[in-house]
Structure 1
């Protein structure tokens, strides 16, 4: 049952009546916002949540409510993960594999948005390196822990509409840097990664999907001034049909699509697809319309090419 959920549905509504006792779920980015809420609702329904965060002290403080609301055997374990450092990513993955405990769901939630130009510890453009390559290495290294029937949920964004991936110049070595173009590339990569991961693993019962949580005011927007943020909202509204103006979601509404796609929706419905507002998005073209998914983000050949490029960039084959 997928239920009749939509843009205003909350995590508690989506998981009403669902028992996750005995389930083990990895959520990255549990030091703020959507990651904390995702971990909270999963633990409250009995799941054992492994929460990954770069700053463990911050994450411990931010997740007090997760531990307080855990029920039916649910709980939270924190692990250190800096997605902008492949050394950290590999150390985290290796420790999880060494522990040998399988996962039912992996929610790749952590990310950055519209950052000034910079590079990760390994020399990758910050947004592509953090949002895509960090998760690419982490998920592939722990793929053996994902048991049949498990699911990968990649948090993408409607911002994927700003740009397809650039496989010729992923680090902006030869093209002028633009914050939202870089963000768009990384969010398109999140979708393409899900498409190819799903193709590679569905025969053994492991599926992958990508989701857009909606517009939520969290720490993700820390690099955007109020003026830039309002300008973005105005540009979105200028291109929406009547009655479809942009409105902010609450954090529980924003995290709802992640848990819907990971727990509630049928695997064949969401596998290799892009979801928004607790449903599978339709293909829509153009930068101006915020809703829907662009066809280039679901292109299976593009997904294979990105996979190969990502392997070359990180120096590892999966």
Structure 2
């Protein structure tokens, strides 16, 4: 008796060539080409550096031969993109395409912390990033922060600003692969967001700019708590105008920039008092015009004088009344208790 295989001239015991029939079923419309399954494959990371730049550090105009990622973790820079000038504040990132002229100039007094990464990627998926400027979201910041820490371990720092970096001779096992994985993951996250909202609405863009301005101003405030600041000085330091700064704080925090700075200074003063510094020491250290002015502002904000707040925080008993104040209070009491004459 012949089997089906034998009847058709096939050896039923011969091994099958290719996938089994039940494994060949494919969802209609599914991708089959490798480039479609991996639309943003990085072919290599060729150079990179991450550092806090001084306000006087300027990268002269140069031409990039690869894709270049630029990310600003803190501070503000002006980035050249051929004939365009783009202002990148904290959280901002962009890509230079191959053969594009780039350059960098720090803006303001806050030293910018910048990542610059050159990489090779010839696939069409990168086309969506040409000319685009992003503000990193928390999930994307995870990969960006990792890349900023990693490039200092994997690449030699440049001898002069703007010079290309070279990989270190000794690198951790799988260093290039790890760099590629984190960079590819970042590109995929950005591409998904870009596809979801290629051009965010005017309101969303304004909210992001205002949030970045508030964050930059509060960072500058935190570094200058021990002296008075002027609004114009803050605007110059973070690269904005006075109306832009005031609008950002009123919209995001419901008060002015200087009100926020005053509150931060008083919070810091409260920490110094709780630590044991005297009101006079705190007033002098923080540059208040006088001890009386400091005491007035502190009481308005906390309901306590600096001396009373200090004693409360240190668990000390309330200050005893001096003899003159005690006699004055007893006199008031005795007058109140004297019965009226008939």
TM-score range, shorter chain: under 0.3
Task: Indicate the structure whose relative CO is greater, using CA pairs within 8 Å and at least 6 residues apart.
Answer: 1
TM-score (norm 1): 0.24
TM-score, normalised by the number of residues in structure 2: 0.23
Which one has the largest radius of gyration?
Answer: 2
